Structure 1
Amino acid sequence: MTRFPVPRAIVFSDLDGCLLNHDYTYREAKPALACLRDWNVPVVLASSKTAAEMLSLAEALDLDTPIICENGGAIHWRGNQLLGQPDATVLGVPRPLILSKLSELAERFRFRSFTELGLEGIIKRTGLAPEQARRAAQRETTEPLVWDDDEAKIPEFQERLRDASLTLTRGGRFWHVAGNVTKGDGMQTVLTSYRPQQNANFQTLAIGDSPIDLPMLNQADWAIVVPQPNGEVRIQPEHDRYDIATASGSTGWNDSVLRWIERSFS
């Protein structure tokens, strides 16, 4: 198992609609990112995005930390990597098995998976540039989809997926089909690498905006819920140790993180 120095706190953050705006910019989050760096607080990205997408973004953000990809389906161990350790840990179900089940369910339900959308469809739905869309399509353990059927059929669809040990969760842009693994599982796996001893003491902060983030927010010492651009708050953690950001996207992310830093370290 990869081991990292024990920090005073760790931040786990969703990307789309949180650290990233819906146009994929993050300029407004830079002050808080710089402050976290000054306090030596690692930022671990946790997203439905692929490793190809997240590795590129982590470099742009100058983050040398593990990344939790595809909603906990895989963890890429970046930073302080020990010689001989694997580059990644896979926790989820291989994508071909997911596609096989979706092909079977397509006879009863109307939806379009990433595979069916193709590169042009992904670009149209996300606004990504072609190279970014190619990275988004390089999935290993999940399959996003667009639901075209009556929403009343979703519970039945979920039940059919559960029969195959698969789950359906709503994200910011798509529904996501995956194995029975969550961002919370990825978070716990990463935390073990920062805890060489069981009594290692540090705070955890988790930030998210959609139901797919709840397993991560529920486990954190403190959570930040980021609202949608229209002000809608989609989720509520199981505990009362959380703030609701005053704005969506990187502006709300930045302001809430700075308040948390002031409260935690001043």
Structure 2
Amino acid sequence: MVLVNKAPIGWRRLRPRRLVFTDIDGSMVSYDGRVGGSAYYARLLRLLGFLVIPVTAKTVEEVVALRNRLGLDGDPFIAVVEAGGAVYASPGFLTRPTSYDHALGLDYIEVGEPLERLEPLLEEIASTPCSEPLYRLTKAPPRIAERMTGLEGFQAELARRRRFIEVYWSPSRSCMERAAQRAEELGLTVRYGRLLHVGKGYGKARAVELLLEEPLLHGTPTVGVGDTQLDEDLLESVDTAVIIPQTDGRLLARPRRTDYYVAPEPAPEGWVHVARLLALGSL
């Protein structure tokens, strides 16, 4: 069953005024799921000619399920998912798609290696000697998947449907550190925060660079919005970088640039503030 409508005839002639590449959790939406005014301002930005593109660690199924709630329900559908593991878009948008997802009705580009090709290496990481269990999200029992993701029921199930990035978690930080070290020894790409993201060849910045090669987007000014270390490569690759602080005011994202803008509040209020500035032409 196709879950995303095809883009309307003529949409390819509409060149965006500006591209807003935004993280979702902790940036556009609070970690406890509050959207606040983000959906309203996402729709307002679209009316003003901005194109808001999620760049998230979520799966494509999660983004599809969330797009109405986040105000991202306008065509075309474009999203960077699984921390830059793949780019999904409405049919006809991508000039060189890798393949087509028949269930979702979306074209996509593989940025990272599919997990099925990495399975022996991923299992070797899962076998890292630990004092506590080390879980893989794609194979975790429902209860553990909910604990890893902070989601419940069907939402946690959507988060498990990963194709490009495996996520590991253990109650033991030393266990996760050993697993991260083993993944690096095996030549895999590792992002380490509260969870351990492991894949090969993935990256938010790399996925954004591929998108910017598309004729409709090439040369368009870019904004990047993020809140953690997972967003640093994205923030380093855009024209205007925005950091959303944590609820305690800390900045977890530290890109290798000094000209970033720091929102005055955490998500979602900080994202709303940034959207207002963009709408007014003040950022």
Q: TM > 0.5 between the two?
A: yes
Q: What TM-score bracket applies, with the shorter chain setting the length?
A: 0.7 to 0.9
Give the 3 Å change call, closer, same or farther, for CA 251–144 of structure 1 in structure 2. Answer: same
Q: Is 1:94 matched up with 2:114?
A: yes
Distance 1:82 1:114, change over 3 A: closer
* Residue matched to 1:255: 273
* Residue 45 (structure 1) aligned to one of 54, 79, 103: 54
- State whether structure 2 residue 211 is matched by structure 1 residue 164: no
TM-score of the two chains, using structure 1 as the length reference: 0.85
Residues 1:246 and 2:264 are matched in the alignment: yes
Describe the shift of the 1:53–1:153 C-alpha distance in structure 2 as closer, same or farther (beyond 3 A): closer
Shift of 1:63: 3.8
Partner of residue 189, structure 1: 210
Percent identity over the alignment? 24
Residue-by-residue CA offset, 1:223-257 (whole Å, 9 max, x unaligned): 11111122211122222231111111111111122
- My pick for the range that moved more, 43-52 or 62-71, is 62-71
For 1:146 and 1:157, locate their aligned partners in 2 and report how far apart those are by CA, in whole Å. Answer: 9
Matched residue type, 2:231: D
Q: Are residues 1:78 and 2:90 paired? A: yes
Contact 1:18–1:226 (CA<8 Å) still a contact in 2? Answer: yes
Q: Which has the higher contact order (CA 8 A, sep 6+)?
A: 1
Instruction: Indicate the RMSD between aligned Cα atoms, in angstroms.
Output: 2.7
- Among 36, 45, 51, the alignment partner of 1:36 is 45
Cα separation, partners in 2 of 1:204 and 1:264, compared to 1, 3 Å: farther
- Structure 1 pair 107–145 and aligned structure 2 pair: CA distance change class (3 A): closer
What is the one-letter code of the residue matched to 1:66? I
Superposed counterparts of 1:104-253, under 5 Å: 104-105=124-125, 106-109=127-130, 111-151=134-174, 154=177, 157-171=179-193, 173-195=194-216, 201-253=219-271
Give unmatched runs, 5+ long, in structure 2.
Answer: 1-11, 100-106
Is the contact between residue 225 and residue 235 of structure 2 (CA under 8 Å) also seen in structure 1? yes
Counterpart Cα distance in 2 of 1:195 and 1:239 = 28
Shift of 1:102: 3.2
Hey, what's the Cα distance between the residues in 2 that align with 1:30 and 1:236?
A: 27
**Larger displacement relative to structure 2 (125-134 or 202-211):** 125-134
Mark the CA change 1:261 to 1:236 in structure 2 (over 3 Å): closer, same or farther. farther
Query: Contact 1:217/1:237 (CA < 8 Å) preserved in 2?
Result: yes
Contiguous gaps of at least 5 residues in structure 1: none
Tell me, in whole angstroms, the C-alpha distance in 2 between the residues paired with 1:4 and 1:119.
45
- Alignment counterpart, residue 8 of structure 1, candidates 10, 17, 26: 17
Is the CA contact (8 Å cut-off) linking 2:112 and 2:199 kept in structure 1?
Answer: yes
- Alpha-carbon distance in structure 2 between the residues aligned to 1:82 and 1:168: 27
Name the count of aligned residue pairs. Answer: 259
